[in-house]
Structure 1
Amino acid sequence: MAAIENTYREPTYSHWRRPRKAGIGTLGGLATAGLFVGLIITVICLFVGGWIAGLVAFLILGVALSVVSVTDKHNKSVGERVFARLAFGSARRRRANIYRSGPLGLTPWGEFQLPGIAAGSKLYEFTDSYGRPFALIHLPSTAHYTVIFGTQPDGASLVDPEQIDAWVANWGGWLASLSNEPAVVAASVTVETAPDSGARLRREVESNIHDDAPDIAKAMLREALATYPQGSATIRAWVALTFSAAARAGGKRRTADEIARDLASRLPSLTERLESTGAGACAPLNAQELCEVVRVAYDPAAARLIDEAHYQGTPVDLDWGEVGPSAHQADWDGYRHDSGHSVSWTMTGAPRGHILSSALARLVAPHGEIARKRVTLLYRPIDAGRAAAIVESDQTSALTRASSTTRPTARALVDARAAQATAAEEAKGAGLVNFGMVVTATVLSARDLEDAVAVVEGNLGPSARLLLRRAYGSQDSAFAASLPLGLVLPKHLRVPEEIREAM
């Protein structure tokens, strides 16, 4: 009898990289140009003012270059860290880090308006071609519209590795297809874990208990209702798609009604393709569901009240002007909002080398030390027309660095091979996507904050092989970015993204 040999091996994934601009050493193109201009000025000062003037100009040039070229492990330069400190200090002196809303606040009409970068957002509700209501968020400051899908991920438990590999492949295909979707500028995936109040289980069980059931069966169910919610958790996931108000670059900005008519016919196909990625049953969120999600994020204590209201059949009627916090205070390394205390981190380094499909399993799983945790993956698809030019330029820069010396470093050689692999995959039809991650941990008491920070920085982050950096000075903005609101962070920076990349 011949033995059956299973030769299947779980696939690994890699080949993501941070494109680097052509320049000398760690300097980008703009900084390299500044270096040559500074050298010219130094030479002029040397001939005109003597060696003292030349030495002073050379020292000034050295200090300026060190400010933009000396970076830490998170790729943050001295200048960026100093600018963040100065910006936060200015905001604290102006008390811009403190927010009060409601009847005693400063918001118009006494509303509980969302703070920070989401302050100007507006919420609409429309119906797609399947008759499903969907919420549409409009952010006038960036001319973006966002639609949110609620998903029910199948999970990887008791699932064949081949099926998981197919889901990952379909997810990659779905991301690649976004570059061909008209007006799509960003996408995000948010996975939230929170304690389960037990109200949904109670409603489900009590609605199915038959009056003629045996007493022992009823007693067993009541005991399960009393004990199961203790220590249990609920996991929810959302996918947000952000669209530009202009159908094409330089085009006329469309209104919310025009965007909604366009999306009404596109949402069914988007949700159908999303279901093939392992997202499970997928449907757009309506306005009320989205209001509940945002309200609970800023006031975690409201989750139990909302669950109880649904259990009792009492309608919950929240408006977009009622979902923001009544008060918040953004500190340098933390964020206080209503009944919650939160800390947010941003990913500054993706896992190196090859990883498995289960790399983020522990990071997104519930944890007993953290009351509410959100892990949000941010994607910005790159237009297919620009993708080829980007990968070719990156490949040229990497090869130049590797061949510019007779003894290139191992990092330079690996970087060159990765750039070549990326260019080859793009040439075969693969999409190009910028991605990032925001992790937010929320607790109900300030005493539990240190434990939550230790769990994320000392356990969950390293287990996923991620390099996480606390969002110093921008805790309120990072918290908003972790919500399924479709915020595109580079559009809210004071320094334009193009200049930051060129440095």
Structure 2
Amino acid sequence: MARSSSVRTYGNWRKPVSPGIGRLGMLGTMILLIGLVVTSLAMMISLVAGLVVAVTLGVVLLPLLVQDRHGRTALQAATARIAWWRGKSKGWHLYRSGPLGIAAHGSFRLPGLLAPSRLITAQDSYGRPFGMVVMPQAGHYTAVLECGADGAALVDQDQIDTWVAHWGQWLAALAFEPGLVAASVTIETAPDLGHRLQREITANLYPDAPEMARQALREIIATYPAGSAQVSTRIAVTYSAAPRPGAKKRTLEEMAREIGTRLPGLSSGLAMTGAGTARPMTAPQIAASVRVAYDPESQATISTAAGDEPSWNDAGPSAAQEAWDHYRHDSGYSITWGMSEAPRGEVLSNVLNGLVAPHRDIARKRVTLLYRPHDPGTAARLVERDRKDARFRITGANAAARDAVAVAAADQSAREEAKGAGIVRFGMLVTATVHSSEELKTAAAAMDTLAPPARVQLRRVYGAQAAAFAAALPLGVVLPSHLQVPSIVRESL
């Protein structure tokens, strides 16, 4: 962080890159070196053999060298397209549930990555019930905190800076949480139907109130919700059943007791971050929020039927169909974008205000920040490795100015980590939901105007809209844990 004219700015985030020659990562560099050795040996046999090996080497390396503006290589784009064609040919992009669907017992189970999930009820150490989402395929257990954030309107800048500082401390403390693998913050904006206001006024209306007061309250109920938006903030914390790699996995009862013990500390730590009062969401509340996400038209029914929320087996859509660039689910059409590049340079604390605020061209908007903290030992190794990688790229006469800035940022990160700062991997998913396919282009155009002021580069998640939609929900879907390609291979590209 730095101060300029008494205005506090933030930055110094770096996208991890694999060390290599030019645009090649470690894997591409190893292929290049091995190919050059094989080419030299082949040329000792014959010139034709050497040329054949050299051409083959060029064909292999070309998909790794060609990149788009988001840093995605041609190999990654081709792999995504082939995987999409393969899944579509097998009908994996279609989902039907209910009495005429494929779900067991005519239920409305969640599709895709959330299909094997379960939702159970547990109690924290304060005696408060909370819902815990179980992902058996990954061994992950997630609890969700609902926050009453008031926003930064009419708040002094010093108070905002204090909130940001405490939020950074809260994120850094996640690295010391045993077994915690990920956390996410979801800010969702949707039309306010006024049902909550109506219930609150009706429940507190005095029977002998004057008629003038009653008339005023009736007018408030009728006019206040018009054009207003409902903003909800939810924080999901995800723990692994194995406290460390190779350790024995804990049982469901042990995880419920472990998470229940840690929730009060996590929720109380959010008090000074501007999140307001944080309370764990119950299982019916989680199921209701997921139901509304997949079927926006059900919001009116669920909000009026307080205490009659759907069960987890009925929280999914009755029909869903994934396309290459969007996702159709019951009464909604959604597009999900992923952040390909964080804001460059230094930014102010309000850089994301426009992105998370309600927009008239988008019926429902969900902005999810994904965090994966490194433990202190891994963080120390990573910052030192980043320093070496950054210095390796700046060697030579053709070093770019961006490489020099990367060296300075890597040095600063190493100094801050040595002083006790935490290292957190973060990403962002943005989902825009509308009511018809004709509105998709309008929503996409609106997102194109919201991303530049936020200084983030967004890329539509082509070929994986259903998985990205599920990951943007506060349910603890950690995407790297569900990929078939090993992480060591992905990080070496």
TM-score normalised by structure 2 residue count: 0.97
| Correspondence 1:408 to 2:399 | yes
Cα deviation digits, residues 338-363 of structure 1 (max 9, x gap):
00000000000000000011011011
Q: What is the match of residue 472 of structure 1? A: 462
Within 2, Cα distance between the matches of 1:461 and 1:208?
Answer: 43
Instruction: Measure how far apart 1:230 and its partner are.
Output: 1.5
| Correspondence 1:455 to 2:443 | no
Cα deviation digits, residues 142-164 of structure 1 (max 9, x gap):
11111111111121011111111
Percent identity for Structure 1 against Structure 2: 50
Q: What is the match of residue 37 of structure 2? A: 40
Within 2, Cα distance between the matches of 1:30 and 1:69?
Answer: 12
| Correspondence 1:429 to 2:425 | no
The equivalences for 1:431-446 within 5 A come to 431-446=422-437
Please say which of residues 277-286 and 65-74 is displaced more in the overlay. Answer: 65-74
| Correspondence 1:322 to 2:314 | yes
Q: What is the match of residue 14 of structure 1? A: 11
Within 2, Cα distance between the matches of 1:262 and 1:215?
Answer: 53
Which amino acid in structure 1 is aligned with residue 265 of structure 2? S
Of 90, 110, 125, the residue aligned with 1:114 is 110
Matched-pair contact (CA < 8 Å) for 1:21–1:394: no
Q: Which runs of 5+ in 1 are unaligned?
A: 1-6
Tell me the C-alpha RMSD between the 2 structures: 1.3
| Correspondence 1:269 to 2:259 | no
The equivalences for 1:44-55 within 5 A come to 44-48=41-45, 50-55=46-51
Q: What is the match of residue 372 of structure 1? A: 364
Within 2, Cα distance between the matches of 1:151 and 1:181?
Answer: 20
Which amino acid in structure 2 is aligned with residue 182 of structure 1? P
Matched-pair contact (CA < 8 Å) for 2:181–2:240: yes
Which amino acid in structure 2 is aligned with residue 108 of structure 1? A
Of 467, 471, 480, the residue aligned with 1:481 is 471
SS in 2 for 1:179: helix
| Correspondence 1:300 to 2:296 | yes
SS in 2 for 1:502: coil
| Correspondence 1:220 to 2:211 | no
Q: What is the match of residue 199 of structure 2? A: 203
Within 2, Cα distance between the matches of 1:70 and 1:280?
Answer: 47
Instruction: Measure how far apart 1:8 and its partner are.
Output: 7.2
Instruction: Measure how far apart 1:223 and its partner are.
Output: 1.9
Instruction: Measure how far apart 1:414 and its partner are.
Output: 0.7
Within 2, Cα distance between the matches of 1:145 and 1:211?
Answer: 47
Within 1, Cα distance between the matches of 2:383 and 2:75?
Answer: 28
Q: What is the match of residue 387 of structure 2? A: 395
Matched-pair contact (CA < 8 Å) for 1:22–1:29: yes
Matched-pair contact (CA < 8 Å) for 2:302–2:309: no
Cα deviation digits, residues 388-433 of structure 1 (max 9, x gap):
111111101111222x213532111111111111111111110000
Instruction: Measure how far apart 1:268 and its partner are.
Output: 0.8
Instruction: Measure how far apart 1:369 and its partner are.
Output: 0.8
Instruction: Measure how far apart 1:211 and its partner are.
Output: 4.1
Within 2, Cα distance between the matches of 1:10 and 1:209?
Answer: 47
Cα deviation digits, residues 25-82 of structure 1 (max 9, x gap):
121122211111111222222222x222221211121121121122111110000001
Q: What is the match of residue 3 of structure 1? A: none
Q: What is the match of residue 28 of structure 1? A: 25
Matched-pair contact (CA < 8 Å) for 2:288–2:309: no
Matched-pair contact (CA < 8 Å) for 2:285–2:309: no
Please say which of residues 479-488 and 62-71 is displaced more in the overlay. Answer: 62-71
Which amino acid in structure 1 is aligned with residue 139 of structure 2? A
Within 2, Cα distance between the matches of 1:297 and 1:283?
Answer: 21
Within 2, Cα distance between the matches of 1:133 and 1:214?
Answer: 40
The equivalences for 1:59-458 within 5 A come to 59-310=55-306, 315-402=307-394, 404-406=395-397, 408-457=399-448
Instruction: Measure how far apart 1:176 and its partner are.
Output: 0.7
Instruction: Measure how far apart 1:206 and its partner are.
Output: 2.6
Cα deviation digits, residues 164-211 of structure 1 (max 9, x gap):
111111111111111111000000000000001111111222333334
Q: What is the aligned residue count?
A: 490
